[in-house]
Amino acid sequence: MTWEETYKVWEDFEPLEETLKSELTSMKGDSEALEDAFYAPLEFGTAGMRGIIGVGINRMNQYTIRQATEGLALFMDSLGEDTKKRGVAIAYDSRHQSPEFAMEAAKTLGAHGIPSFVFESLRPTPELSFAVRQLNAYAGIMITASHNPAAYNGYKVYGEDGGQMPPKEADALTTYVRSIENNLTIDVVSEEVLKEKGLLTIIGEEMDQLYLEQVKKVTVNPDLVKRMSKKMKLVFTPLHGTGQMLGERALANAGFEGITVVPEQAVADPEFSTVKSPNPEEPGAFEYALRLGKEIDADILVATDPDADRLGIAVKTTVGNYEVLTGNQIASLMLYYLLKAQKDAGALIEDGVVLKSIVSSELPTAIAEHFGMKMVDVLTGFKFIAEKIKQYEEDKSQTFLFGFEESYGYLVKPFVRDKDAIQALVLIAEVAAYYKEQDKTLYDGLQDIFHEFGHYKEKTISITMEGIEGSEKIKALMAKFRNESPREFAGIGVECVEDFEKRERTYQKGMKETIDMPSSNVLKYKMVDGSWLAIRPSGTEPKIKFYIGSYADSAIEVKRKIDDFEATIDIIIKN
């Protein structure tokens, strides 16, 4: 159907939810707004879906939630009664309509006789991952838009291993979701009927305790924590999200006492009223934590995003200011501490493996190899790290030690199969305590790592291109790079090009190799000096991302290289 025909179906649908009906009425005559809301269904892919809350098939609302869940229910129907009986765990964050969307999912599953385990109130994404495994549920649903602005919400589906569904299952699920022609007429049952039929179980504190018991295993050196528990000062902000639910309790369980929570941001707030963006990647998210940190002379400032799967930190520099570190730098500090502590204790595992995404720094690779550990790269998306963990558990070939993505996501212990900011919060506090005991800051610790391994620097350039026109521009840019493959960037020659969509690595001399990874729309250019550049469209946002990585003997030289690459990218985009 055309967007006009789809709009007409919605306009004529009498039972349309009142808020959405009112919004639709207010849009009457605004063809541009109507086309954007109805021109295409909200994209449902391997990472689920994410979008602005509102009326239309291209928005997050109760009908698009039902459609996504109906697809999951149909998929589970195809797998048989035993699968259906295992049910689905459902959690949600602090965003607008998150509790309502969670219940809509349960009501849709209930129409198929599939039981739901719904959290009593907001919970972090990693706890949802844990709950799927703990309950032996077949799947999990997380209602969240991660660190997006307040106008957004989203929907993520997890598989039975607690990781986001891998490509094969995700593709099957997506096919079912897209086969639904009219999401207005999907059958649901009431909450009362769910309870009557035993298809709704409310979960909460008991699951919290089970999860927190596992988080205790993240602590590497309890004696260090005990010695430094009151001396090391940490400021924590959950940025109005779910991190407050378990973050403080996890730190207290580990033995830390010098913890101060930013009071204004400890309150769950769907408007995220104290920040422009609830994204711990951005320095602006630390405004309140910075103010409080200066007041109490904190050693480290820590922020978690709304669904507490990502974590960012700001550390005190040599001149007493605070500097926000990158996800790559945080991962490097964590990994170095983990491996050094294990080596010092004589507990390094011979078959240990570290996992990272293809767009993450090579500094952790150097650290892992220094300690005799293996680094394995996977595609972007933590589900690929989860897949590898599952593979290693089954074939016993490697032992998982640590996994991360440059986008501020880390996993220490695999009882969760997604990014876990609660685990990361406990570990980074211990790393800060380790350096504090040496009269050093985390900033000093990072400089020590650079001194030992060389200077690595990365930068991500994220360009938003909204709407239909933006989507076409992103496709055109990817086609341009793919069809007119540059032979150099910023005067540095390209050694090889990795096209992950074609699963092909091509060297400038003509030799080709197959890339042993699933197909993905990513291009990566490896330069002759060890620098690299990767390009990928976001799977959940209207963005195209450029990732740059470089290496040099000095901070000045590595920064110059990054600046030169950035200028080159800017020229290419404008042309």
Q: Which residues are catalytic?
A: 146
The size of the chain, in residues, is 575
Cα–Cα distance measured from residue 236 to residue 258, given in angstroms and rounded to the nearest whole number: 11
* Alpha carbon separation from 402 to 134, 167, 529 (Å, rounded): 21, 22, 28
Query: What DSSP line would sit under 180-241, residue for residue?
Result: -S-GGG-----HHHHHHTT-EEEE-HHHHHHHHHHHGGG-S-HHHHHHHTTTS-EEEE-TTS
Give kind and range of the element (H or E) at residue 427: helix 421-437
Query: What is the tally of helices (H) and strands (E) in the chain?
Result: 20, 23
Residues 6 or more apart whose Cβ sits within 8 Å of residue 536: 359, 380, 520, 521, 522, 523, 544, 545, 547
Cα–Cα distance measured from residue 305 to residue 318, given in angstroms and rounded to the nearest whole number: 27
Task: Yes or no: say if 228 and 250 are a contact pair by the CB < 8 Å rule.
Answer: no
- Does residue 287 come out as left (phi exceeding 0), alpha (psi in the -120 to 50 range) or beta? alpha
Cα–Cα distance measured from residue 317 to residue 210, given in angstroms and rounded to the nearest whole number: 38
Task: Yes or no: say if 540 and 514 are a contact pair by the CB < 8 Å rule.
Answer: no
Determine the residue type at 446.
L
- Strand pairing report for 300-304 and 234-237: parallel
What is the CA angle 447-451-453, rounded to 5? 110
**Residue 229: Cβ within 10 Å count:** 18
Cα–Cα distance measured from residue 337 to residue 314, given in angstroms and rounded to the nearest whole number: 18
Cα–Cα distance measured from residue 132 to residue 300, given in angstroms and rounded to the nearest whole number: 33
* Alpha carbon separation from 325 to 251, 281, 287, 562 (Å, rounded): 21, 8, 15, 16
Instruction: For residue 496, list its beta bridge partners.
Output: 507, 526
Cα–Cα distance measured from residue 331 to residue 458, given in angstroms and rounded to the nearest whole number: 13
* Alpha carbon separation from 75 to 176, 188, 227, 245, 341 (Å, rounded): 7, 17, 53, 33, 45
For 107-132, b/e burial (b = at least 16 CB within 10 A) is bbbbbbebbbbbbeebbbbbbbbbbb
Question: Which pair of tokens denotes residue 78?
Answer: 């195809």
Cα–Cα distance measured from residue 452 to residue 312, given in angstroms and rounded to the nearest whole number: 24
